[in-house]
Amino acid sequence: MNLRRLEEFFATKSYPTPNIEFLQPFLDKSKDNLKSESQHKKSKSKGSSTGTRAPKYYDLHLHEDLQMKKVVVLKHLDKALASICDEFLNPGHPVHLLPTDSFTRTPDHSYISDKADSFLRLREAANLIDNRRRIEHEEVVRQSYNIYNAPAFTSLASRLAFLTESNILNWSTTHNEPQENAIADGFLSFNSDLRRRLAGLPTSIQNDIELIYKHKLDTLAVWEDKSPFAGSETTMTKLVQPQNPFHWRTCQIGVQADQKKQNVCSVKYHDIDGHVAVTGRRTGPDAKDRMFLEEAIRLSQQSVDTDGDDGDEDYSKLGDPTNKKAGDMLQQVWAAAVKHDCTFMVLSSGKFEVICVRERETGTMYLSKLLRPAESDNPAHCKLHVALYIHAYRDALDRAKQMDSFFQPDVPQDRLPRLYRLQFAKMPMPDSYPNLIQELRTKQFIKLRLSTKHEDSSNYRLWQNISSLNTEISALETSSPPQPRSVSEWSFDTDRATPATSSRVFSTIAFKQSQSFSDKLVIKFAEGKRQCEDLALQFRFHRDVEGMAGNDHGLRAFGLFQQIGANPLFCAMIMEHAGTGYARNSKHCKEHKEGFHTLLEKIHSQGLVHGNLQRDHLLMKKDGKVAFVGSRAFKGKQCELEELRNDEMELLRRWVPLDSSPVQQ
């Protein structure tokens, strides 16, 4: 009985097919738009899901040794994977001793009650399908697999792999740990309550599962789902083309490039303690037992000898949007696999699917041919996915046993695998920031690049230090390259606009080799003669405030620079990040508000005025230090100067009251 039911199950094209009940009408309404991207672009409505996200922080900063290096397509990978199920069709296999009624669920979906929340989400996603929103949402693909496919696959794979009636494996759309970066759409792992039930399992299974948990390899495989349009046949076909090498997209901050479109991560994460952030996860060697992969390579080579080979194709270049989308999909799913240190990945868009296998040591991604779950019959979709689940478990166990052998008392640490010795978080470098400040104040030239969001250029320009200039600012030209010693070793990238009201103020990333600071500096630009001279006066105001005896407050301005050869004049003031705007109701600001009054009194006592005091110009750091920004030169008479000082003190008393009296607006 068990043998017959297994044969029926393994022959099912999809159990049940993903294109049922909700997904089929969903695709029917979308099929006109699936013909071509150009047709879709003419008719797509707001909210349509047509693309995939570009690489972000985790992907862009992934350690070089963990990046994907090449893509190899194995046309018979699916057959090689599925062949593991044939061993269970032997009538003498112990699996047939299990009770028949525990084997497979029938297609009546009576188990849907176990997935009630997912079922409701699927209904909600399906209800979005109407005449206005014909294009699909990936949530339908995800929840369809979660409800209709995964329960049957995990149930059968658990029985075949472990020879037990217990449901050991689990497929879920959420991970058991919070996910911030490189977030996958689906995870194959163990049942959440399995560790509480281990005592009821055979001792050998208990030991194996605990070993996998010990080395944190319990995420066995990851899924990336795309909407049926984002993962159209055109795009998914682009996936299954060989690439050698694969061009991994990295963070371009600090990289000279000719491309207009740069890959730039968030300044929030770019560096850690003065070092460029490097993401990734230490990993051990690949599994020793990979007979399925060897067989897939053998079969695919035979196929190449017979059918010929189209050769390698580079689809990562930016010229073709479909090529770029395919490359982004592969980079996205590879990064998720690195994060969870798993070997198997699935890219799915409902009607189309690609199985991916990661080889760590060479950085190779092996891809299956383009699969059609509702049509595939050699192997059928069900047989392939049950086999995939079993392979993923055995692969994790194989690698866990290898890692355990490396951590024996008699094994020296330098014998650890190369990829396990990688370093991601480095110790702080306390001397590098003072060195940066010193070079800003003393070097004659710096290299500065404006983000392509602000300027149609991705190359660094030479800027001359004019901090000591006391005359009016005029154009600068250079006929020969400057001496290397006169150019700072630090280079600078503008990143994003700060929350300040001025559209000319940007966060700045300073870097030198592996050293980097992204939360320390701010740069303010000025264009044209009048703006540049006003900026020079602001620079001198901050320098005067910084030089006041006994003053701990104020903003440190490190240098005033002018771009060589720019017409009109283009200047920049590089200064420290002086904090955020004063928030009257903040407990922190209430505790340190006296600093504003102390600083303004010192400024006035030196015969100076701010000249442009506004509420937005009051900044405060976490350590309680305060600063005024946006100053302006005063050109009036002495009597008017005294009046302005009084006005500034009165405004400050209104905005930052020192007593409990009502605040005036």
Taking only the tens place, the pLDDT of each residue in 400-427 is: 999 988 877 776 666 778 888 777 755 4
Instruction: Specify whether the CB–CB gap between 316 and 331 falls below 8 A.
Output: no
Would you say the C-alpha torsion 298, 300, 306, 308 has a positive or negative sign? negative
CB atoms within 10 A of CB 511: 21
Higher pLDDT, 256 or 507: 507
CB atoms within 10 A of CB 583: 12
459 burial level (CB within 10 Å; 0-12, 13-18, 19+)? exposed
- pLDDT value at residue 498: 54
% of the chain at pLDDT higher than 90: 26
Would you say the C-alpha torsion 218, 221, 226, 230 has a positive or negative sign? positive
Whether the predicted pLDDT of 32 surpasses 60: no
Whether the predicted pLDDT of 246 surpasses 50: yes
Q: CA angle, corner 403, sides to 399 and 404, nearest 5?
A: 115
pTM (two decimals): 0.68
Most confident stretch, 83-97, 384-398, 521-535: 384-398
Please report, for residues 228, 318, 502, 562, the alpha-carbon distance to residue 233 in angstroms, rounded to integers and kept in the order given.
8, 20, 47, 52
Please report, for residues 501, 553, 660, the alpha-carbon distance to residue 586 in angstroms, rounded to integers and kept in the order given.
20, 19, 15
pLDDT mean over 635-648: 82
Confidence band, pLDDT 50/70/90 cuts, at residue 536: very high
How far out from the chain centre does Cα 37 lie? 26
From the list 579, 569, 572, the residue with the least C-alpha distance to 558 is 572
CB atoms within 10 A of CB 102: 13
- pLDDT value at residue 93: 74
Alpha-carbon distance of 577 to 522, in angstroms, equals: 5
Alpha-carbon distance of 40 to 37, in angstroms, equals: 5
Alpha-carbon distance of 321 to 230, in angstroms, equals: 12
Query: 569 is written with which tokens?
Result: 């004049």
291 burial level (CB within 10 Å; 0-12, 13-18, 19+)? exposed
Confidence band, pLDDT 50/70/90 cuts, at residue 566: confident
Place of tokens 């738009």: 33
Instruction: Specify whether the CB–CB gap between 522 and 630 falls below 8 A.
Output: no
DSSP conformational letter for 408 = S
Whether the predicted pLDDT of 219 surpasses 90: yes
Higher pLDDT, 320 or 243: 243
512 burial level (CB within 10 Å; 0-12, 13-18, 19+)? middle
Indicate the Cα dihedral angle 286, 289, 292, 298, nearest 10°: 90
- pLDDT value at residue 255: 55
Please report, for residues 172, 336, 342, 516, 626, the alpha-carbon distance to residue 186 in angstroms, rounded to integers and kept in the order given.
6, 11, 13, 35, 48
- pLDDT value at residue 585: 61
- What is the residue type of 549? A
% of the chain at pLDDT higher than 70: 73
Question: Comparing 356-365, 385-394, 635-644, which segment has the lowest mean pLDDT?
Answer: 635-644
Q: Strands 70-73 and 364-367, how do they pair?
A: parallel
- pLDDT value at residue 468: 84
The crossing angle, in degrees rounded to 10, of helices 381-406 and 203-214 is: 70
Alpha-carbon distance of 32 to 514, in angstroms, equals: 50
- pLDDT value at residue 26: 39
Strand partners, 487: 445
Place of tokens 């080395």: 215
Confidence band, pLDDT 50/70/90 cuts, at residue 23: very low
Whether the predicted pLDDT of 85 surpasses 50: yes
